[in-house]
Chain A
Amino acid sequence: MPASPASPDSSRTDAASFDYEAALAACASGEQQALHRIYQHESRRLLGVALRIVRDRALAEDVLHDAFMNVWTKAASFDATRGSGRGWIHTLVRNQALSVVRTSGREVSVDEEMIEAIEGEAVANAAPMAEAFEISADIGRLDECLHRLDVTKRNSIMLAYLDGCSHSEIAKRLNAPLGSVKAWIKRGLLSLRECMA
Chain B
Amino acid sequence: MNESADDLHLLAGEYVIGTLSAASRADVEARMKNDGALRTAIEMWEEKLAPLSELVEPVEPSAALWSRIESSVAAKSVPRAPVKPTASWWNSLNLWRGLAASGFATAAFMGVVVITKIAQPPAPGYMVVLVGPQDKSPGWVVQAGTNSQQARLIPLGKMEIPGDKSLQFWTKGDNWKGPVSLGLVKPGQSLEIPLDKLPPLQANQLFEITLEPSNGSPIDRPTGPILFIGRAVKII
Q: Which residues of A contact B (CB under 8 A)?
A: 1, 3-4, 6, 11-12, 30, 32, 35-36, 39, 43-45, 47-49, 51-53, 60-61, 64-65, 68-69, 72-73, 82-84, 87, 90-91, 94, 98-99, 102-103, 105, 133, 135-140, 142-143, 157-158, 160-162, 164-167, 170, 185-186, 189-190, 192-193, 196
Q: How many A-B pairs fall under 8 Å by CB?
A: 145
- Cβ of A102 and Cβ of B66 under 8 Å apart? no
B43 at the interface (CB under 8 A from A): yes
Given A30-B77, A45-B56, A162-B52: 10 more A-B contacts, CB < 8 Å: A32-B70, A43-B61, A44-B59, A48-B56, A53-B18, A61-B62, A65-B68, A91-B46, A142-B49, A185-B14
Say whether B73 contacts A69, CB under 8 Å: yes
Give every chain B residue within 8 A of A48 (Cβ-Cβ).
56-59
Bound-complex Cα distance A61 to B55 (A):
20
- Tell me the bound Cα distance from A61 to B53 in angstroms: 17
B119 to chain A, nearest CB (A): 44
The answer on a CB contact under 8 Å between B57 and A189 is no
Q: How many residues of B contact A (CB 8 A)?
A: 43
Verify A36–B66 contact, CB threshold 8 A: yes
Q: A47-B59, A99-B22 are in contact. Are A157 and B17 (CB under 8 A)?
A: yes
Q: A72-B76, A140-B51, A190-B9 are in contact. Are A98 and B66 (CB under 8 A)?
A: no
The reply to whether A39 and B66 form a contact with Cβ atoms under 8 Å apart is yes
Whether B21 sits at the interface, judged by CB under 8 Å, is: yes
Known contacts being A6-B60, A51-B59, A103-B22, is A87 close to B17, with CB within 8 Å? no
Contact (Cβ within 8 A) A161 B18: yes
| B binding-site residues for A, Cβ under 8 Å | 6, 9-10, 13-14, 16-22, 25, 43, 46-62, 65-66, 68-70, 72-74, 76-77, 133-134
Question: What is the minimal beta-carbon distance from B222 to any residue of chain A, in angstroms?
Answer: 15
Instruction: Give every chain A residue within 8 A of B74 (Cβ-Cβ).
Output: 32
Give A143 to B212 CA distance when docked, in angstroms.
50
| CB-nearest residue of chain A to B136 | A30
Q: Which of A64, A87, A164, A190 contacts B18 (CB 8 A)?
A: A164
The 5 closest A-B pairs by CB, nearest first: A44-B58, A139-B51, A189-B13, A102-B22, A160-B17
Q: Kindly report which residue of chain A lies nearest to residue B6, judged by CB atoms.
A: A190
Contacts of A133 in B (CB 8 A): 55
Q: Is the interface of B mostly helix, strand, loop or mixed?
A: helix
User: Given the complex, which residues of B lie within 8 Å of A4, measured CB to CB?
Assistant: 58, 60
* Nearest residue, chain A, Cβ from B69: A68
A98:B69 contact, CB within 8 angstroms: no
B73 near A193 with CB under 8 A, answer no
Taking CB atoms, residues of chain B closer than 8 Å to A44 are 58-61
- Say yes or no: B68 contacts A137, CB within 8 Å: no
Residues of A close to B43: CB separation below 8 A: 82-83
B66 touches A45 (CB 8 A): no
Bound CA span A37–B61, Å: 15
Taking CB as reference atom, which chain A residue is nearest B226?
A: A32
Alpha-carbon distance A40/B161, docked complex (angstroms):
26
Give, as a whole number of angstroms, the nearest-CB distance from B179 to chain A: 15
Please name all residues of chain B whose beta carbon is closer than 8 Å to the beta carbon of A39 when the two chains form the complex: 66, 69
Are A142 and B133 neighbours in the complex by a CB distance under 8 Å?
A: no
Q: How far is the CA of A82 from the CA of B10 in the complex (A)?
A: 20
Most A Cβ at <10 Å: residue of B17, B47, B48, B62:
B17
Assess the B50–A99 pair: CB atoms within 8 A: no
Q: Which residue of A lies closest to B62 (CB)?
A: A61
**Cβ-defined contact, A137 with B54, below 8 A:** yes
A65 pairs with B69, CB closer than 8 A: yes
B21–A102 contact, CB under 8 A?
Answer: yes
Return chain A residues, CB-CB under 8 Å to B54.
Answer: 12, 137-139
How many angstroms from the CA of A74 to the CA of B59 in the assembled complex?
A: 25
Asked if residues A161 and B52 are in contact (CB atoms below 8 Å), the reply is: yes
